[in-house]
Amino acid sequence: MLSSTAPFARGYFGRVTAVGLTASGQPALWYAFTGRGKPSRQRRATIQRPAAGQLTVEIGPLRPPGRRSDPATAALLLLSKPGLGVAGSTPRLAELGAALSAGAHPQDALRSALARWGPEPPPYRTPRTAAVLVPAGPRAWMGATTEPDTASSALISLAPGRFECLPTASGAAGSTAPIGADMEAELVEVRLGEGGAPGLAEAVYGLFDPELIVCAVAAVWEQEAGAWDVALRNLHQE
Nearest-10 Cα torsion for 71, 133, 95, 231: -50
What is the average pLDDT across 4-9?
78
Q: What is the pLDDT of residue 52?
A: 72
Rounded (10°) angle between helices 106-117 and 93-101 = 150
CB atoms within 10 A of CB 69: 8
Q: pTM for this one?
A: 0.91
The type of residue at 18 is: A
At 118, the amino acid letter reads G
Separation of first and last alpha carbons in the chain: 37
Domains of the chain by residue range? 2-234
* CATH classification (class only), 2-234: alpha beta
Span 16-44, pLDDT tens digits: 999 999 999 999 999 999 998 888 899 99
For the ranges 53-62, 176-185, 188-197, 219-228, the lowest mean pLDDT is seen at 176-185
Identify the pLDDT of residue 62: 84
The pLDDT-based confidence of 177 (bands split at 50, 70, 90) is low
**Does 68 have pLDDT greater than 60?**
no
CB of 125 within 8 A of CB of 148? no
Residue 99 has a pLDDT of 94
Distance CA 127, CA 115 (A): 11
Q: Please answer whether residues 116 and 104 qualify as being in contact, where contact means their C-beta atoms are separated by less than 8 angstroms.
A: no
Q: Give the residue, 204 or 63, on which the prediction is more confident.
A: 204
Band (194; pLDDT cuts 50, 70, 90): confident
